């Protein structure tokens, strides 16, 4: 069927027709998937089953405790402290990953060196590694008696059981999002534009800031948003290195689990609702900035 459609598209115009009228007859689009109605119906059904219905139960469960109960649990001093720690560490980790993830993608795309494929595979390791295993490994390395922590603590740098440890864990799990978002854009970038700018006398820093970085910005913001969102919900790799001290190093997902262990499902849903709404609002803002950056780069 596909073959016939291609042959028909390349067929000669019918006798008596002009060259402009002939191809117009064969501009009918073909698709390898069923029609729009069926594919759209399957898509909406799948999204409802996997995303919308599970998320709606969070709002329904929190609604059962009433508005006063919701405010008392969701905006308690302990909950507010967990929000601050979760959002602050996720933001810092995503920002650090934006810088070093872009640098990693640059090295992988622009340079050929021995072991490049191994380095490329290591970038994806946080995707495959169980998060609990990553948390244990990071704690063993960055704790005061760990391989790196034993040298950092005499310098006054405590890298475990505090927000710094949480940030390290979130950097670990967020790095692939930045690298894999930026890498395709760098591969498709036209090097002739860069070489022409250098030929005309632009300095390398000017070429990067005025030509390359604007092209990378939409992909960079996409990777930032994905890493930030992943950091907000991360649990397994954080609980071992965080220390989990209320008001100091307790993250919101851990407080949700604490409520669940006490069979307080409504309280856990209330905190989850605040996290969900706040995360959605921040992702919406980032996506608007990304769309604005894309439109500006196309001008």
Supply the pLDDT for residue 11.
46
Contact partners, residue 264, CB within 8 Å, separation at least 6? none
Q: How far apart are CA 17 and CA 96, in angstroms?
A: 62
Average pLDDT of the residues in 168-197: 91
Residue pair 188/149 in contact by the 8 Å Cβ criterion: no
Conformation bin of residue 107: beta by default, left when phi > 0, alpha when psi is -120 to 50: alpha
Q: Is the dihedral of CA 146, 151, 154, 157 positive or negative?
A: negative
Task: Say yes or no to pLDDT of 283 above 70.
Answer: yes
Other residues' Cβ atoms within 10 Å of the Cβ of residue 81: 18
Question: Model confidence at 299, in pLDDT bands (50, 70, 90)?
Answer: low
Q: Is the dihedral of CA 142, 144, 147, 149 positive or negative?
A: positive
Which secondary-structure segment (H or E) carries 56?
helix 53-63
Question: Model confidence at 48, in pLDDT bands (50, 70, 90)?
Answer: very high
Contact partners, residue 150, CB within 8 Å, separation at least 6? 144
Conformation bin of residue 66: beta by default, left when phi > 0, alpha when psi is -120 to 50: left
Conformation bin of residue 3: beta by default, left when phi > 0, alpha when psi is -120 to 50: alpha
Query: DSSP labels for 159-228?
Result: -SSSHHHHHHHHHHHHHHHHHHHHHHHHHHS-HHHHHHHHHTT--HHHHIIIIIHHHHHHHHHHHHHHHH
Would you give the end-to-end CA distance of the chain in angstroms?
Answer: 40
Q: How far apart are CA 93 and CA 135, in angstroms?
A: 15
Condensed to tens digits (0 to 9), the pLDDT of residues 54-100 reads 888 888 888 888 889 899 999 999 999 999 999 999 999 999 999 99
What one-character DSSP code corresponds to residue 112?
A: -
Question: Model confidence at 288, in pLDDT bands (50, 70, 90)?
Answer: confident
């Amino acid at each position: 069927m596909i073959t016939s459609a291609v042959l028909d598209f390349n067929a000669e115009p019918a006798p008596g027709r002009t060259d402009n009228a002939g191809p117009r007859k064969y501009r009918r689009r073909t698709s390898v998937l069923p029609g729009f109605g069926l594919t759209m119906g399957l898509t909406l059904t799948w999204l409802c089953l996997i995303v919308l219905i599970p998320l709606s139960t969070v709002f329904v469960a929190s609604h059962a405790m009433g508005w006063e109960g919701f405010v008392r649990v969701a905006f308690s001093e302990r909950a507010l402290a967990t929000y601050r720690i979760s959002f602050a560490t996720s933001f810092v980790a995503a920002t650090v990953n934006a810088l070093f993830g872009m640098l990693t993608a640059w090295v992988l795309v622009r340079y050929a060196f021995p072991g490049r494929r191994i380095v490329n595979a290591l970038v994806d390791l946080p995707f495959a590694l169980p998060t609990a295993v990553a948390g244990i490994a990071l704690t063993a390395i960055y704790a005061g008696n760990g391989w790196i922590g034993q040298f950092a603590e005499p310098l006054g740098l405590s890298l475990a059981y505090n927000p710094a440890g949480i940030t390290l864990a979130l950097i670990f799990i967020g790095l692939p999002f930045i690298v894999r978002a930026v890498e395709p854009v760098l591969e498709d970038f036209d090097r002739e534009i860069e070489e022409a700018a250098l030929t005309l006398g632009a300095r390398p820093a000017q070429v990067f800031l005025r030509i390359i970085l604007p092209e990378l910005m939409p992909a960079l913001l996409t990777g930032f948003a994905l890493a930030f969102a992943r950091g907000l919900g991360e649990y397994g790799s954080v609980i071992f290195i965080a220390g989990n001290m209320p008001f100091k190093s307790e993250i919101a997902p851990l407080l949700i689990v604490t409520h669940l262990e006490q069979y307080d499902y409504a309280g856990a849903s209330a905190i989850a609702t605040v996290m969900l709404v706040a995360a959605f609002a921040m992702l919406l803002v980032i996506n608007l900035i990304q769309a604005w950056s894309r439109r500006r780069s196309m001008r």
